[in-house]
């Protein structure tokens, strides 16, 4: 595998050739006779009589996050450091829809802080084996990365996911944001089985070639990045095993690249009441040497982390005659992180207690307390966070 990826780096266009060959191979198994045209069962007369609406093709969604945070940490010398912030964390607006039963798209922008484009992709669903994604999309590294902020269980990502999946990247490059990259990706269900009227997946895959330069930017990066994830559902409903990789590099100096190589393995259970997920992540990232005498040399930061959480949903109505149901979920997460295994003082253990409340389907309230044990400090750190999300 290493030899293959090294050869791909030497010939940039070979990345797309390889992806095209894999796509052609997978597509050969697709029942294309059921692809275009046959999903529309309306007769010609019915098509004329149908009242077409723009909502049949385009939907507008969005959500706003307002967040309060307070953090305090006593330095080793006894100095108390505090922060107290209230902010508009996110203001997302999304246009999504479909041109055809096989073709859908998403265009999402965040208007909080500096406005920027987020998801911007087109997907062609040839068959269950092959979905082709093109545009600015989430890389398939880690289980958390595909989740939206409204699906994430805690106010903040785990430390290792934030550092290795491209949110607050170890490299320090600001263009790596929100786990997004520009490129092309294949996904699909390789193996499934039928249970009643439902088809249950057993093995799903995601694999893509990405620019490796971050989001909303045009930057030269002669060697493209590769990321893939494999999800296995071992005949237990709502339970999966997952493994993923990210293999690439980024331009560090004018004529010098640095590696961004990562892998992860984890498991997840999402039942009606009990929810749990655990994942181990590891990566190697090249950064510039701090010593000015070693100009143009690369220091390899070896990062690792582990997070595990468990939660339980309680469901209740507003009243005996009400159809509005609210949900409440207490959660606990252990979050272990080492930014650089060669520097023991970069180790941190976080213990988070969270209460998530949906009073109704459009409003979400978070209360979060985190106890922080960081090797760089003798004293424990603390943080409180409260977040209200409203979606439309």
Pairing state between β 347-360 and 198-210: unpaired
Q: How confident is the model at residue 1 (pLDDT cuts 50, 70, 90)?
A: very low
* Mean pLDDT to the nearest integer, 182-190: 95
CA-angle at 173, arms to 167 and 176, nearest 5°: 35
On whether the CB atoms of residues 251 and 225 are closer than 8 A, the answer is: no
Identify the pLDDT of residue 39. Answer: 44
What is the b/e burial string over 180-197, where b = at least 16 CB atoms within 10 angstroms of the residue's CB?
Answer: bbbbbbbbbbeeeeeeee
Least confident of 43-47, 64-68, 97-101, 113-117: 43-47
Identify the pLDDT of residue 20. Answer: 56
Write out pLDDT tens, residues 327-371: 999 999 999 999 999 999 999 999 999 999 999 899 999 999 999
On whether the CB atoms of residues 275 and 269 are closer than 8 A, the answer is: yes
On whether the CB atoms of residues 323 and 285 are closer than 8 A, the answer is: no
On whether the CB atoms of residues 268 and 276 are closer than 8 A, the answer is: yes
Identify the pLDDT of residue 6. Answer: 47
More confident residue, 67 or 100: 67
Residue in the block written with tokens 């992180």: 337
Identify the pLDDT of residue 101. Answer: 86
> Does residue 2 carry a pLDDT above 50?
no
Identify the pLDDT of residue 78. Answer: 72
* Mean pLDDT to the nearest integer, 124-130: 93
- The 3-class secondary structure across the chain, one letter per residue, is CHHHHHHHHHCCHHHHHHHHHHHHHHHCCCCHHHCCCCCCCCCHHHHHHCCCCHHHCEEEEEEEEEEEEEEEEECCCCCEEEEEEEEEEEEEEEEEEEEECCEEEEEEEECCCCCEEEEEEEEEEEECCEEEEEEEEECCCCCCCCCCCCCCCCCCCCHHHHHHCCCCCCCCCCCCCCCEEEEEEEEEEEEEEEECCEEEEEEEEEEEEECCCCCCCCCCCCCCEEEEEEEECCCCCCEEEEEEEEECEEEEECCEEEEEEEEEEEEEEECCCEEEEEEEEEEEEEEECCCHHHCCCEEEEEEEEEEEEEEECEEEECCCCCCCEEEEEEEEEEEEEECCCCCHHHEEEEEEEEEEEEEECCEEEEEEEEEEEECCCCCCEEEEEEEEEEEC
- Residue-range domains of the chain with CATH: 2-31+58-391 (2.40.160.10)
> Does residue 17 carry a pLDDT above 60?
no
Identify the pLDDT of residue 28. Answer: 57
- Spatial distance between the Cα atoms of 356 and 330, rounded to a whole number of angstroms: 6
More confident residue, 9 or 289: 289
> Both tokens of residue 276?
């749990």
More confident residue, 9 or 361: 361
> Does residue 307 carry a pLDDT above 50?
yes
More confident residue, 96 or 218: 96
> Does residue 282 carry a pLDDT above 50?
yes
* Mean pLDDT to the nearest integer, 108-135: 93
Least confident of 34-48, 103-117, 132-146, 241-255: 34-48
- Selection from 29-33, 158-162, 191-195 with the highest mean pLDDT: 158-162
**Four-residue CA torsion sign, 25, 26, 27, 33:** positive
On whether the CB atoms of residues 94 and 110 are closer than 8 A, the answer is: no
Assign residue 135 a region (left: φ > 0; alpha: ψ between -120 and 50; beta: otherwise): left
- Spatial distance between the Cα atoms of 82 and 74, rounded to a whole number of angstroms: 9
More confident residue, 229 or 199: 229
- Spatial distance between the Cα atoms of 82 and 71, rounded to a whole number of angstroms: 6
Identify the pLDDT of residue 42. Answer: 46
Identify the pLDDT of residue 27. Answer: 55
Q: How confident is the model at residue 81 (pLDDT cuts 50, 70, 90)?
A: confident
Identify the pLDDT of residue 100. Answer: 84
Least confident of 2-6, 24-28, 145-149, 346-350: 2-6
> Does residue 301 carry a pLDDT above 50?
yes
> Does residue 46 carry a pLDDT above 60?
no
> Does residue 195 carry a pLDDT above 70?
yes
Q: How confident is the model at residue 292 (pLDDT cuts 50, 70, 90)?
A: low
Supply the pTM of this predicted model.
0.84
């Amino acid at each position: 595998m290493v030899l293959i990826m090294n050869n791909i780096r030497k010939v940039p266009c070979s990345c797309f050739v390889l992806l095209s060959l894999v796509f052609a191979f997978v597509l050969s198994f697709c029942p294309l006779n059921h692809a275009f045209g046959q999903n529309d069962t309306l007769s010609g007369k019915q098509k004329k009589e149908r009242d077409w609406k723009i909502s049949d093709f385009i939907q507008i969604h969005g959500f706003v996050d307002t967040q309060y945070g307070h953090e305090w940490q006593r330095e080793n010398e006894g100095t108390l450091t505090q922060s107290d912030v209230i902010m508009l964390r996110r203001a997302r607006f999304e246009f999504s829809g479909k041109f055809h039963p096989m073709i859908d798209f998403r265009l999402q922008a965040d208007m909080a802080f500096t406005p920027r484009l987020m998801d911007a992709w087109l997907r062609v669903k040839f068959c269950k084996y092959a979905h082709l994604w093109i545009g600015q999309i989430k890389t398939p590294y880690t289980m958390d990365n595909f989740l939206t902020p409204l699906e994430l269980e805690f106010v903040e990502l785990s430390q290792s996911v934030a550092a290795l999946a491209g949110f607050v990247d170890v490299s320090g490059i600001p263009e790596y944001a929100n786990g997004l990259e520009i490129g092309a990706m294949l996904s699909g269900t390789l193996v499934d089985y039928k249970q009643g009227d439902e088809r249950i997946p057993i093995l799903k895959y995601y694999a893509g070639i990405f620019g490796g330069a971050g989001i909303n930017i045009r930057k030269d990066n002669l060697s493209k990045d590769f990321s893939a994830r494999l999800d296995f559902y071992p005949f237990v409903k709502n339970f999966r095993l997952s493994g993923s990789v990210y293999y690439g590099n980024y331009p560090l100096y004018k004529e010098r690249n640095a590696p961004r190589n990562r892998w992860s393995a984890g498991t997840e259970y999402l039942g009606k009441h009990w929810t749990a997920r655990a994942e181990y992540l590891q990566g190697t990232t090249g950064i510039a040497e701090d010593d000015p005498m070693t100009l143009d040399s690369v220091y390899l930061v070896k990062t690792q982390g582990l997070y595990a959480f468990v939660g339980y949903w309680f469901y209740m109505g507003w009243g005996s005659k009400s159809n509005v149901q609210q949900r409440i979920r207490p959660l606990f997460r252990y979050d272990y992180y080492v930014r650089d295994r060669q520097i023991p003082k970069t180790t941190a253990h976080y213990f988070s207690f969270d209460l998530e409340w949906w009073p109704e389907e459009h409003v979400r309230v978070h209360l979060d307390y985190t106890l922080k044990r960081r090797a760089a400090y003798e004293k424990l750190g603390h943080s409180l966070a409260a977040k209200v999300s409203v979606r439309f």
